[in-house]
Structure 1
Amino acid sequence: MRNAIALGDGFVVTTDNSGGIGEKAHDVVSVPDRLTAFFAARVALLEQWAAHADPVSILIHNFTGPDSWNAYVAGVEDIFRESNLDVPAITGSTETNMELMQSAVAVTMIGKQRLVEEVGEFDWYVYGTPLVGNEVLDRREEIASLRLIKEGLDSGLIRKIWPVGSKGILAEYRRLTGEPKIEIEIEADIDIRASAGPSTSVLLGIDIPNIEKVHKLFGGHLYKINVIDSFRNER
């Protein structure tokens, strides 16, 4: 698991938050509250899939104010519709005693793990371009599609998934392999150190015989990871 917490009996918790992004005058990035919740929920959902789990309940922690609640709920619902999934039960809390100058929201998901087959030999690929801030709005066609990822998971084409966050592709690959000094190359002109913001990029473990089917499913923005052995030494 990446950032999920195991609760026992197959239940896991994942979460993501967003601050200074929304509709308030002092927000750093100006976007609809619905879109803010959408991307926070996106990260929490990808973390669930990384833990081989599916959400059964969702909590929204709304610090922006009561007027934003319905938009946040709608944004969370949108992420499940994009993934062709039923929307789990949604509840949460809103800060009404103090009015903040900037928007702030967190989305927490409780999920139930599913049984998965043992993973054999596979290769790691990057799907989607690392984007952050206004890039996420301006280049949405480069963002890893949740619908296609779910389709790949359900069909067995994708064996493992690992979301990429603000530390970038290289840091996440080092983390999942447990090799802090490893260096990699990507078969594309892509920045492996750039922030991927709300997990606009995802690392995918793909069975070697299935790679052509996966290329056909995704169409583009799928890049092979190659390890540079000469950089494994301590420096």
Structure 2
Amino acid sequence: MINDTIRDVSITFLTEDTGIIVACDSSAAIGLKEADSVLAAPEITSAFCLRVALMELLAIGGIPIIVVDTIGGEMEPTGTRMITGIRNELIKAGLTDVMINGSTEENMETKMTSIGVTVVGTVQKNQLRYGTTLAESTLYQVGEPLLGADVLEHRDAIFTYQDLAEIQQKTDVLELLPVGSKGVAYEAEQLARSSGLHIIFDKTEYEDTRSAGPATVLLVAVEKGRVLRLTNKKIAVKRIGYFTKEQLT
């Protein structure tokens, strides 16, 4: 049995070809409780929290089978509304057969909204998209970094599960990586490092360190000389760099 941690997901291969893959995320201070920093419906909070873990798992080639929610608050009304948000997000992703389990806090009164979400799935070794970026391939950024209230105000500008699926089906796409709180620059370096490469940004302004919140940016490595385009024209797509074997000075 092989165990490995690949960026933000953990994989255990039970056989030579089939593995269990796990991704998770947490969210706090976003809701309707008195100590929350950003006011948002609990359904939205849980949906975006799930989105992060789902995107990480899907981007690497996993198939979700179970979602576990750990809600730091009472079942009524917060928990029920958060579970509704999770169900709705699964519908948006076309994953209506995924099981849901979880827990709430019924012993203590809470004044801040919080939730953790874990997604468990399966992955086939030949479907695993990791360490597949090539030297001289191009790096594209899909979407823009959004955080907090900006996420709620610009939801139409955030790439969807359908956009992700469209990108995955392109034969010239090598690897994908959702970006969250650590920012574009950090995740681009991780993408390069997983294939033993270096990232060279086209402009210094693309070395973005802003948080991308609930996976509002997707990094896509594309074969040299190919251009990434999306059917969904609401989503910003731009080339931001390329990969090399040697670090340029």
Q: Which amino acid aligns with 1:169?
A: V
- Structure 1, gaps ≥5 residues long: none
Further displaced range: 111-120 or 123-132? 111-120
Structure 2 distance, partners of 1:182, 1:155, is: 22
Q: Residues 185 and 206 of structure 2 are in contact (CA less than 8 Å); yes or no, is this contact kept in structure 1?
A: no
Superposed CA RMSD: 2.9
Instruction: Give the equivalent residue in structure 2 for 1:147.
Output: 162
Structure 2 distance, partners of 1:126, 1:143, is: 12
Residue 82, structure 1, aligned to residue 92, structure 2 = yes
Size of the aligned set, in residue pairs, is 230
Structure 2 distance, partners of 1:136, 1:124, is: 24
Residue 56, structure 1, aligned to residue 65, structure 2 = yes
Structure 2 distance, partners of 1:4, 1:154, is: 22
Structure 2 distance, partners of 1:203, 1:80, is: 22
Q: Residues 192 and 198 of structure 2 are in contact (CA less than 8 Å); yes or no, is this contact kept in structure 1?
A: no
Q: Residues 170 and 183 of structure 1 are in contact (CA less than 8 Å); yes or no, is this contact kept in structure 2?
A: no
Residue 195, structure 1, aligned to residue 211, structure 2 = yes
Structure 1 distance, partners of 2:25, 2:120, is: 12
Structure 1 distance, partners of 2:248, 2:212, is: 24
Q: 1:28 aligns with which of 32, 37, 62?
A: 37
* C-alpha deviation, 1:182, in angstroms: 5.6
Q: Which amino acid aligns with 2:61?
A: H
Map 1:107-122 onto structure 2 (within 5 A): 107-114=117-124, 115-116=126-127, 119=132, 121=134, 122=137
Q: Residues 60 and 93 of structure 1 are in contact (CA less than 8 Å); yes or no, is this contact kept in structure 2?
A: yes
Give the 3-state SS of the residue equivalent to 2:27 in structure 1: strand
Deviations 1:73-95 (A, max 9, x none): 22122222222333400001111
Residue 71, structure 1, aligned to residue 81, structure 2 = yes
Structure 1 distance, partners of 2:65, 2:128, is: 22
Q: Identity of counterpart residues, as a percentage?
A: 25
Map 1:188-227 onto structure 2 (within 5 A): 192-208=208-224, 211=227, 214-219=228-233, 220-227=235-242
Instruction: Give the equivalent residue in structure 2 for 1:98.
Output: 108
The structure whose residues are more often helix, as a share, is 1
Q: 1:184 aligns with which of 185, 201, 205?
A: 201
User: Cα gap change, 1:231/1:117 in structure 2, threshold over 3 Å: closer, same or farther?
Assistant: closer
Q: TM-score, normalised by structure 2?
A: 0.81
User: Cα gap change, 1:216/1:183 in structure 2, threshold over 3 Å: closer, same or farther?
Assistant: closer
User: Cα gap change, 1:18/1:74 in structure 2, threshold over 3 Å: closer, same or farther?
Assistant: same
User: Cα gap change, 1:197/1:180 in structure 2, threshold over 3 Å: closer, same or farther?
Assistant: farther
User: Cα gap change, 1:77/1:151 in structure 2, threshold over 3 Å: closer, same or farther?
Assistant: farther
Structure 2 distance, partners of 1:74, 1:204, is: 31
Q: TM-score, normalised by structure 1?
A: 0.85
Structure 2 distance, partners of 1:23, 1:11, is: 35
* C-alpha deviation, 1:71, in angstroms: 1.6
- Structure 2, gaps ≥5 residues long: 1-5
